[in-house]
Structure 1
Amino acid sequence: MPLSSSSPPVTLEAWLAHCERLHPSTIDLTLERVQAVAQRLPLRFGGPVFTVAGTNGKGSTCAMLEAVLIAAGYRVGVYTSPHLVHFEERCRIDGQPVQAQDLLPHFEAVEQARQGAALTYFEFTTLAILSLLAARALDAVVLEVGLGGRLDAVNAVDTDCAIITSIDLDHMDFLGPDREAIGREKAGIMRPGRPVVVSDPVPPESVVRHAEAIGADLWRFGRDFNYAGQQSGTGTWQQWSWAGRQKRYTGLAYPALRGTNQLLNASGVLAALEAVRDRLPVTAQAVRNGLAVVELPGRFQIVPGQPTLVLDVAHNPHAVAALAQNLDQMGFFPRTHAVFGAMADKDTAAILRRMAPLVDAWHFTDLPTPRAAAAATLAAQWRELAPGLPAPAPQAGVSCHADPVEALRAALEEADPTDRILVFGSFYTVGGVLEQGLPRLAAKHVG
Structure 2
Amino acid sequence: MSNLPTTLPAWLALLEARHAETVINMGLDRVLAVKERLQLAFTCPVIMVAGTNGKGSTCAMLESILLRAGYKVGLYIKPHFLDFNERARVNGELATDAQLVAAFNAVEAARGDTTLTYFEFTTLAIMGLLAGAGMDVVILEVGLGGRLDAVNVVDADVAIVTSIDIDHTDYLGDTREAIGFEKAGIFRAGKVAICSDPVPPQTLIDHAAAIGADLWLMGRDFNYSGDKQQWNYGGRSQRRNSLAYPSLRGANQILNACAALAALEALRIELPVGAQEVRTGLVTVELPGRFQVLPGRPTVILDVAHNPHAASALNQNLGNMGFHPYTFAVFGSMQDKDIDGVIAAMSEHVDHWCLATLPSPRSATASELAAKVQLVQEDKAERTINIFDDPAAAYANAVSRAGENDRIVVFGSFLTVAGVMAARKSSFH
**Normalising to structure 2: TM-score of the pair?**
0.98
Q: Deviations over 1:132-171 (max 9, x none)?
A: 0111000000000000000000001111100000100000
Deviation of 1:15 (Å): 1.1
Deviation of 1:415 (Å): 0.6
Among 11, 27, 34, the residue aligned to 1:15? 11
Deviation of 1:434 (Å): 1.1
Deviation of 1:439 (Å): 8.0
Residue 274 of structure 1 aligns with which residue?
Answer: 265
**Paired residues for 1:274-313 under 5 Å:** 274-313=265-304
Residue 397 of structure 2 aligns with which residue?
Answer: 410
Residue 421 of structure 2 aligns with which residue?
Answer: 434
Q: Which amino acid aligns with 2:185?
A: G
Residue 145 of structure 2 aligns with which residue?
Answer: 148
Among 164, 167, 191, the residue aligned to 1:167? 164
* 1:243 matched to 2:234: yes
Q: State the distance in 1 between where 2:227 and 2:25 align.
A: 46
Q: Deviations over 1:354-384 (max 9, x none)?
A: 1111100000011111111111111122223
Residue 246 of structure 2 aligns with which residue?
Answer: 255
Q: Which amino acid aligns with 2:98?
A: Q
Q: State the distance in 1 between where 2:375 and 2:84 align.
A: 37
Q: State the distance in 2 between where 1:247 and 1:353 align.
A: 41
Deviation of 1:187 (Å): 0.4
Residue 421 of structure 1 aligns with which residue?
Answer: 408
Deviation of 1:438 (Å): 4.8
Contact 1:195 1:217 in 2 (8 A): yes
* 1:376 matched to 2:376: no
Q: State the distance in 1 between where 2:356 and 2:96 align.
A: 31
**Paired residues for 1:23-422 under 5 Å:** 23=19, 24-25=21-22, 27-231=24-228, 238-387=229-378, 390=379, 392=380, 395-422=382-409
Cα gap change, 1:168 to 1:401, in 2 (>3 Å): same
Deviation of 1:440 (Å): 2.4
Q: SS state of the match for residue 437, structure 1?
A: helix
Q: Deviations over 1:15-63 (max 9, x none)?
A: 1122123342352221111010011101111210001000000000000
Q: SS state of the match for residue 22, structure 1?
A: helix
Q: Which amino acid aligns with 1:16?
A: L
Contact 2:347 2:376 in 1 (8 A): no
Deviation of 1:385 (Å): 3.0
Q: SS state of the match for residue 102, structure 1?
A: helix
Quick check: 94-103 or 186-195, which moved more? Answer: 94-103
Contact 1:26 1:121 in 2 (8 A): no
Contact 2:74 2:139 in 1 (8 A): yes
Q: Which amino acid aligns with 1:217?
A: D
Cα gap change, 1:401 to 1:26, in 2 (>3 Å): farther
Q: SS state of the match for residue 296, structure 1?
A: coil
Q: SS state of the match for residue 146, structure 1?
A: coil
**Normalising to structure 1: TM-score of the pair?**
0.94
Deviation of 1:402 (Å): 1.5
Residue 235 of structure 1 aligns with which residue?
Answer: none
Q: State the distance in 1 between where 2:344 and 2:270 align.
A: 47
Q: How many residues align?
A: 428
Quick check: 56-65 or 23-32, which moved more? Answer: 23-32
Q: State the distance in 2 between where 1:438 and 1:333 align.
A: 25
Q: State the distance in 2 between where 1:436 and 1:110 align.
A: 34
What is the RMSD computed on CA atoms of the aligned residues?
1.3
Specify every segment of 5 or more residues in structure 2 that has no aligned partner in the other structure, as ranges: none
Q: State the distance in 2 between where 1:351 and 1:413 align.
A: 25
Q: Which amino acid aligns with 1:362?
A: W
Residue 234 of structure 1 aligns with which residue?
Answer: none
Q: Which amino acid aligns with 2:39?
A: P
